[in-house]
Homo-oligomer: A and B are copies of this chain.
């Protein structure tokens, strides 16, 4: 078996790795802070001003940053702020959901520059790849050759073990089974030359929140995303931690409630499919909650009850999560209107007060800021983060 050498997880570092690391540190500081002067970068990174100067020059030559107008009004040579050049990197995000799939183009500033969507009763490899095969050229046609060359890759945000939802999604067993051995990298490799980055959908959403939302002010937190099912992601030391197998933050699996009975996982206590079911029982139109553009006013009791039940279990989950890692906060977001999100967090905070937390500091709950599009934006952000930003401990060449 060639290439099966034994190598320890953390390898040594060399000069190239050192420079690459420092460039990522500088890029990350600019990304998180926004426009910032080079002296300030030097202060924060503890790099010398000269080193920062050299690195910035290279980043500017690569088109990754732009210089702003000097800030006058103080003694001395005015500071020239540097900022990420929004068009410096473009990236594709491909989200596969239970009801919809999205293909988006995002820039370095997190702006969604294009979006294509499709809906289905349940996803199959054929349907999903057909959509991608048709959509990719349509999006790339809007770009210049130079812009196309700046695409960092395609980040696929896909739920864990798609083939295991049969019961809840009411899909054809045979067609769903096709997911089991499906190889995204190979399939996408056949229709495009972009680097493929595969990720759990909730981890992708977490990446979006980390880059553009609440995460900008936090360095260690758990992120819960409530979609058709609920899931999540984890941020450690200022970087998204996908985990050894890419399945860190699988909060849907958390046991909450009475573990002696079936259906005690958070998945079955705090997901939108439960609201869909409630609405159906109440004779309301459940599709309203999936359209995303409209508010949920007037849906009444089913929504109120769902918020209350979801919040109660979220509070328990927050305690469990913060028992494993002493997170700064638990950020909660999902595919619902912002007012529902606010009510959910408020209710969860209330429930949290009634739970014993001896042994840890009481978890802090925060509202997410990115919202329903987090998964596709985050999917697109993965290639950017992998190529240009801090990605945890790795430091080799």
B-contacting residues of A (Cβ < 8 Å)?
A: 5-15, 18, 21-22, 25-26, 28-29, 32, 43-47, 51, 160-161, 164, 219-220, 222, 231, 234, 236-239, 241, 243-259, 262-265, 267, 316, 319-328, 355-361, 390, 392-393, 395-397
Contact = CB atoms under 8 A, between A and B. Distances in A.
This chain: copies in complex? 2
Given A164-B358, A254-B320, 13 more contacts: A8-B44, A10-B238, A11-B46, A14-B18, A236-B241, A243-B325, A248-B324, A252-B323, A253-B360, A255-B319, A256-B259, A258-B258, A324-B325
A198 to B, nearest CB: 14
Contacts of A222: 324
A243 to B, nearest CB: 4
B323 A254 contact: yes
B237 A9 contact: yes
B18 A13 contact: yes
A259 B262 contact: no
B265 A359 contact: yes
Contacts of A323: 250-254, 320
5 contacts: A8-B28, A237-B392, A253-B319, A254-B320, A265-B356
Q: 3 smallest A-B Cβ distances: which pairs? A: A12-B47, A253-B359, A12-B45
Contacts of A360: 160, 247, 250, 253
A112 to B, nearest CB: 27
Contact of A234 (B18, B160, B325): B325
Contacts of A234: 324-325
B395 A12 contact: no
A219 to B, nearest CB: 5
Contacts of A28: 8, 10
A22 B18 contact: no
A238 B359 contact: no
B250 A44 contact: no
B237 A326 contact: no
A244 B32 CA distance: 19
A316 B239 CA distance: 29
Contacts of A241: 236, 325
A13 B249 CA distance: 30
B326 A324 contact: no
B243 A326 contact: yes
Contacts of A263: 356
Contacts of A247: 326, 360-361
A250 B13 contact: no
Contact of A259 (B26, B45, B316): B316
Contacts of A359: 160-161, 231, 250, 252-253, 265, 267
A18 B13 CA distance: 7
B358 A397 contact: no
A194 to B, nearest CB: 26
B9 A238 contact: yes
A344 to B, nearest CB: 18
Nearest to A392: B393
Given A46-B397, A316-B259, A324 B9 contact: no
Contacts of A254: 319-320, 323-324
